[in-house]
Chains A and B, each alone.
Chain A
Amino acid sequence: MELLLIFIIGLLHASGIYMLLRRSMFKIIIGLILLGNGVNLLIFLLGKLTKGHPPVIEDGAKIFTEIYADPLPQALILTAIVIGFGLQSFAIILIKRVYQVLGTDDLDELNSTDEEI
């Protein structure tokens, strides 16, 4: 399971970075989304995977005696997904608006703010 996740994370990061290096704005957003999902999976993996041991204390017991799945990484990912979702939807709408106003999808044409004066 870990090995599979490692490959998926690597694939998501690689394809995310590949898309980020394109000249099209639309592809940048796709790249950021892929990268964001890769990072979320990375946190999930680094929180260590435990199969079949939910973080629930048995009746009568006060502390954990056996190993249990750590719920914290999942809470972190949940927060990160929600935040990432909001930011990505903002970015998608921004790109649509930029396309409407400037009429181009090519980042090389968006350099008037860098020009002298």
Chain B
Amino acid sequence: MNNPYIVLPIILQLIAAVVLMFFWTKIKAQKTISILFSVVAVAVAAFMLHDVWHNGIQITQSGNWKAPFGITFVADLLALTLVLISSIAALGVSIFSAGSMRDERLKFGYYPVFHFLVMGLQGAFLTGDIFNLYVWFEVIIISSFVLMTLGGKKHQLEGAIKYVSLNLLASSFFLTGIGFLYGLTGTLNMADLSLKIKLIENSGLVNVTAGLFLVAFGIKSAIFPMYFWLPASYHTPPPAVTAIFGGLLTKVGVYAMLRTFSLIFGGDEFMTLTISIIAALTILAGAFGAMSRKHMGKIFGFLIISHIGFMMVGVSVFTEVALIGTVFYLIHDIIVKTNLFMVSGLVLKINGSQNIDELGGLYKSHPLLSLLMAVPLFSLVGIPPLSGFWAKIFFIEGALDAQDYLLVGSVIIGSFLTLWVIGKVWAEVFWKKGENLPKEAKGVFYDDLSRGKQLSYIIPMLLLSVVSLYIGLGANRIITLSQKIAAELVDPSSYIQVVLQNQMP
């Protein structure tokens, strides 16, 4: 089952980035090419997911070196689902950037770097080798550094300092963890590690290694004690960049945790307890942070943290039921968070401010747009039939099964606080009378834009809203998919079997 075509999502983004570089100053051509490539990427990812759903896990061994000697790329359901969802989010952002990014920023190569970032994401999802995962992480962070600082505004640079230094620190923790793993087992292939790590008698050493990975991925996904960089930096770049960051970057950390804790360090009591406490504190810290802020970007930034905590519930409990919740929530969250930051970008463009005290009356002035913005806001809370509701049932059921009442309580409180925060945003921005709107703001407002630019704001929001409606209404299908993925995570033997082929006993 050596199928070279599974690296296609990576290659496609690479080609897109390289082609875009030839159109360095021709911005209009860049916009068209980027959107075209993103559409193709979604189609390819959908086709591959369909194929793997019917034919089982596919692998490719780079350079035809058999695992564990070469670098393996593995396309299983979890990886391909995330490739598909991230391609959809990337398509949305690609269209959104065409209208919302200033030409000066686009001239400095925004689009090529954006495609390099997506390439890194796809690579991280598809790789089956822990060192290769590190390399893809570096591709992601260097692209995100450039996107974050592009334009060089004062607050951007200030946010970037925190973001850059903490990410560099996380990388060295990750590398240390890899060094420990190699020293312990002598292999870097995740399937091979899964078999060899069980033979190590000194469980203390394995736990230290697991702790290093937890810190490294924890900084990237912004879990409890390591989240301070996120609300300080995520609202500083333009809304299109924040949308791709908020939707995808933190989720890569969660994905990496799911992979390493299912394949390599599974089922240790000490780690389970640690992660469950971290998950509870992450949910609460994020939710309380969101309550105390008035800037829309910062509110949504804190909500990212809170919802990362939800996903950690599955990582901690690690039963099939809880993992269904995590996978479902991951699918829902990527779409909704990307959409949310687009909403905050549009609000900024309409009114010239993101301070909810200064806003108001949006429902009166733009009723249809408000309806569109209501979809991501209320799917985040999880009002049925929108997405986000189903996953929480699985979280609570999973945590109840494991008798972890701390987690049950914090998931419920976290959901209520999210409702409170979103209710506040809705009341302040949409319902309140627009009396103290800012009189002077820089740039062109939404109402004065040309029809085409207005559409480039609306189309991606419409696209992602339709996807989240589909996730909510077609929950049956997504649950079936999540169930299959969760079963694979709990029992990774088929993954190991496919990767190592005939070398299994």
Interface residues of A (CB under 8 A from B): 20, 25, 28-29, 32, 35-36, 39-40, 42-43, 45-48, 70, 72-73, 76, 79-80, 83-84, 86-88, 90-91, 94-95, 97-98, 101-102, 107, 110, 112-114, 116-117
Q: Are A46 and B161 interface neighbours, CB within 8 A?
A: no
Q: A42 — which chain B residues lie within 8 A by C-beta?
A: 176, 179
- Main DSSP-derived SS at the B contact region: helix
B172 within 8 A of A: yes
Question: Once bound together, how far apart are the Cα atoms of A47 and B182, in whole Å?
Answer: 7
- Can you report 18 A-B residue pairs in the complex whose CB atoms are below 8 A from each other? A25-B161, A29-B165, A35-B172, A39-B176, A39-B179, A42-B176, A43-B179, A46-B180, A47-B182, A48-B183, A76-B178, A83-B138, A87-B141, A87-B171, A91-B165, A110-B162, A113-B236, A117-B294
Query: Within the complex, what minimum Cβ distance (angstroms) separates B250 from chain A?
Result: 18
Chain B contacts for A90, CB-based, 8 A = 142, 145-146, 164
Tell me which residues across on chain A come within 8 A of B134, comparing CB atoms: 80
Give the distance to chain B from A98, nearest Cβ to Cβ, in Å: 5
Bound-complex Cα distance A49 to B270 (A)? 33
Across the interface, which residues of A come within 8 angstroms of B294, CB to CB?
116-117
**Contact assessment for B154 and A43 in the assembled complex, using a CB-CB cutoff below 8 Å:** no
Residue among B141, B169, B355 with the highest chain A CB neighbour number at 10 A: B169
Of all chain B residues, the one with the shortest Cβ separation from A90 is B145
A82 vs chain B, min Cβ distance (A):
10
B182 and A102 form a contact (CB under 8 A): no
B62 within 8 A of A: no
A48: which B residues are within 8 A, CB to CB? 183
CB distance from B363 to the nearest CB of A (A): 23
Chain A facing B: main interface SS: helix
Query: Given contacts A42-B179, A97-B152, A113-B236, are A83 and B135 in contact (CB under 8 A)?
Result: yes
Knowing A43-B178, A94-B145 touch, does A102 contact B154 (C-beta < 8 A)? Answer: yes
Contacts from B to A (Cβ < 8 Å): 131, 134-135, 138, 141-142, 145-146, 149, 152, 154-155, 157-162, 164-165, 168-169, 171-172, 175-176, 178-180, 182-183, 186, 188, 231-233, 235-236, 293-295, 355, 357
CB < 8 Å neighbour of B131 from A76, A86, A97, A114: A76
* A32:B169 contact, CB within 8 angstroms: yes
Nearest Cβ on chain B to A9's Cβ, whole angstroms: 10
Which of A70, A76, A83, A98 is in CB contact (< 8 Å) with B157? A98
Given A46-B180, A76-B182, A91-B165; A39-B142 close (CB under 8 Å):
no
Contact A112 B155 (CB under 8 A): yes
Q: How far is the CA of A102 from the CA of B157 in the complex (A)?
A: 9
Give complex CA distance A36, B183 in Å: 18
A116–B179 Cα gap in the complex (Å)?
Answer: 41
Among B135, B145, B183, B235, point to the contact of A113 (Cβ < 8 A). Answer: B235
Assembled-state Cα–Cα distance A80/B172 (Å): 10
Known pairs A90-B146, A112-B158, A113-B162; list 4 more (Cβ under 8 Å): A70-B186, A98-B161, A110-B158, A113-B235
